[in-house]
Amino acid sequence: MTTDLKVSYDSGWFDKDEQGWCARQVAVRHEGETVVVREWGDDNGARPYDATTVYRVGREVAGMGLVQLLNPAGQVARYFDLARRELREATEREPFAFLPPAEYTTQAAREAVAEVLLPVARALGLAVETAPPMPLGEMRPSETAEGAVEAKGATTVGPVEWRWVRRFYADESIDWVGPQQMSVTVAAVGPEEALVSVFVQSPEKASLVLGARLEELPAAREARDEAIRKWTGRAGSA
């Protein structure tokens, strides 16, 4: 490959909790078909780390400006972004905001979301054929959302897991969340990171998150837009 993948940068940030700079240094050496990546840094002097990884150069992904970096097993471990001149992880999570439909808390609404998410999940390579029913049990105090009660459900169908939640905040003074929330997620079982998830934060705010290999995102975005249109009757917004 004649493309130059050599680069050096710091993707760190200033963290007020650490009272200083959290360095995330990256140096990429490229020789022939081999790429050596050194990553080192610390949290304002604390928790230092220094690691070096060797990859083999894979193919350039047409139209996306990405070069595959392969692990010893020949699997895509990371990408080199030619436009950004930086490394990117093999999979990323991409949120997309939209306005939810007025009736989004019912079981029928959850099942409708699941149905429109099927083509999105398939675009991500998930082996899904049908969506399960999504009943809920008793509402209980949430373990993760203070001041809320919620009911959850989950089921595994072959290689994928479905999860759904309905949540209610009794304190209506919290004007940026709730009072009614819901979510539906379908995700790969095991180490794979492929998933698609809808979360309705409030009547005015919802998001659809894609978790996918970078190469799969363009096709999944098209399926995502169609899913939002079908569920809401309108297009989403970035």
Please give the pLDDT value at position 237. 47
Please give the pLDDT value at position 231. 92
CB 187 within 8 A of CB 195: yes
pLDDT digits (tens, 9 = 90+) for 45-72: 899 999 999 999 999 998 899 999 999 9
| Averaged confidence pLDDT in the chain | 88
Rounded to whole angstroms, how far apart are CA atoms 223 and 218?
9
Residue 81 pLDDT more than 70? yes
CB 69 within 8 A of CB 82: no
pLDDT digits (tens, 9 = 90+) for 162-210: 999 999 987 765 666 778 899 999 998 876 678 999 999 988 899 999 9
Tell me the whole-structure pTM to 2 decimals: 0.79
- H or E, element range at 14: strand 13-15
Region 71-91 average pLDDT: 92
pLDDT digits (tens, 9 = 90+) for 121-163: 999 888 888 898 888 888 898 888 888 899 999 999 888 999 9
Please give the pLDDT value at position 238. 42
DSSP string for 29-96: EEETTEEEEEEEEEETTEEEEEEEEEEEEEEEETTTTEEEEE-TTS-EEEEEETTTTEEEESEEEEEE
